[in-house]
Amino acid sequence: MEVFQSFLPIILMIVVGYFIYKYYKNKKSSFVSIEDEAAKALWEKARWGLYIIIPFILIFDIINNDMTGAKQNFIPTIINFFLTRYLIKLLSKKGVTINYPKLAAVGLSISIFLIQVLLGLFVGEAIQDFS
């Protein structure tokens, strides 16, 4: 864990730099239709809520894995990010009106995280029962 803690600031800087790069790259994108433009505007607002909550979920995963003695596993957090992103984009393309997109992204991400925790709990108990 000490080795990971020494690299954590570098990893966080790389992640933040990547998102800044993606933001400016997407800002220079080509022409899109009106429907896609509305969906894109909604996603631009919602992604900030997702960018805010994902580090907290990652830190909670690190603390939880450290307390249980399990290996550090970032795959659930990455899956959470991409699944939330997919669902928000799907909702916006279907024309669902979301008044508070940042809050919707945070709520959806937390809901997915809770589902992941419950699945992990049930799978872990099932594995212990078979052992």
Residues 44, 102: contact at Cβ < 8 Å? no
Q: What is the pLDDT of residue 106?
A: 92
Q: What is the structure's pLDDT at 2?
A: 63
Q: What is the pLDDT of residue 70?
A: 77
Q: What is the pLDDT of residues 29-87, one digit of tens each?
A: 555 455 677 777 888 888 888 888 999 988 888 888 888 787 877 888 888 999 998 88
Q: Is the distance from CB of 105 to CB of 47 less than 8 angstroms? A: yes
In 3-state terms the chain splits into helix, strand, coil percentages (rounded to 5) of 85, 0, 15
Going by pLDDT thresholds of 50, 70 and 90, the confidence category of residue 8 is low
Task: Give the total residue count for the chain.
Answer: 131
**The pLDDT of residue 12 is above 70:** no
Segments making up each domain of the chain, as ranges: 1-30, 31-130
Residue 45 is predicted with a pLDDT of 86
The pLDDT, as a whole number, for residue 107 is: 92
